[in-house]
Amino acid sequence: MAEAFYKLLTSVLSTTFIKLPSSNIDNMYSASSQLFEKFLKGDETTFKLYILYNEGDSSLICHNNFETNSLQNSKLFYILRKVKGALPLKEPQLSESLGYGLLSNVFLDSIEPILSKVYVPLLQRVEEWGKVTNDIKKEFIGATSKFVENLSEVVAAAQIPSVKLQTPQPNLIIPNNPKAFNDNKTNEGLVSNYESLCF
């Protein structure tokens, strides 16, 4: 199991951080072997692991918790267990039992894929919801999916460059009526200014 997990982790980290030397993965894995062992066995303190990637020297540090201020000049890779309860992970279903991805320091960009690709599918797969009725379950999953959809739109909108409106110079402002337009149709400076705004 440990060997299969190591191979999977090495493959994923190498794909995520293209310039990462394999020796750095080996060093991090050796230094954090106890954390990874607890993670595989299902220890409650290590249901999630965070691997901090330093962009300066390509070093890796593994934690079972993190603070947001540690993300300065770094990238954070997360691994979480999708297996219910404190059960050991099994080799045949290893990749299906794990969720992983990259957290950027722009958290909106990170939250949306985590919710849509990890937590919403998990909610949809869980069959036993205790005393919750099927109607409430469907309503909750629907509301969560709608929230993720809205979040996707916000993330997309945030990536569009903002439009800056400038106040025109006083000599370029004319009254909004046909007479003023007609009186200023031969004002070359005014006409060329407004033409430049359209093209």
- On whether both 74 and 138 belong to a single domain, the answer is no
Task: Tell whether the model's pLDDT for residue 69 goes beyond 60.
Answer: no
Element (H, E) at 76: strand 74-81
The residue with greater pLDDT, 182 or 110, is 182
- On whether both 31 and 89 belong to a single domain, the answer is yes
The DSSP code for 145 is: H
- On whether both 85 and 27 belong to a single domain, the answer is yes
Q: What angle do CA 22, 23, 25 make, to 5 degrees?
A: 65
What is the C-alpha to C-alpha distance for residues 63 and 52, in angstroms, rounded to an integer?
Answer: 8
- On whether both 42 and 125 belong to a single domain, the answer is no
What is the C-alpha to C-alpha distance for residues 112 and 155, in angstroms, rounded to an integer?
Answer: 8
Task: Tell whether the model's pLDDT for residue 165 goes beyond 60.
Answer: no
- On whether both 154 and 98 belong to a single domain, the answer is no
- On whether both 43 and 94 belong to a single domain, the answer is yes
What is the C-alpha to C-alpha distance for residues 89 and 171, in angstroms, rounded to an integer?
Answer: 73
Element (H, E) at 60: strand 60-63
Q: How confident is the model at residue 163 (pLDDT cuts 50, 70, 90)?
A: low
State the average pLDDT for the chain.
Answer: 80
Total tally of structural domains belonging to the chain: 3
- On whether both 21 and 31 belong to a single domain, the answer is yes
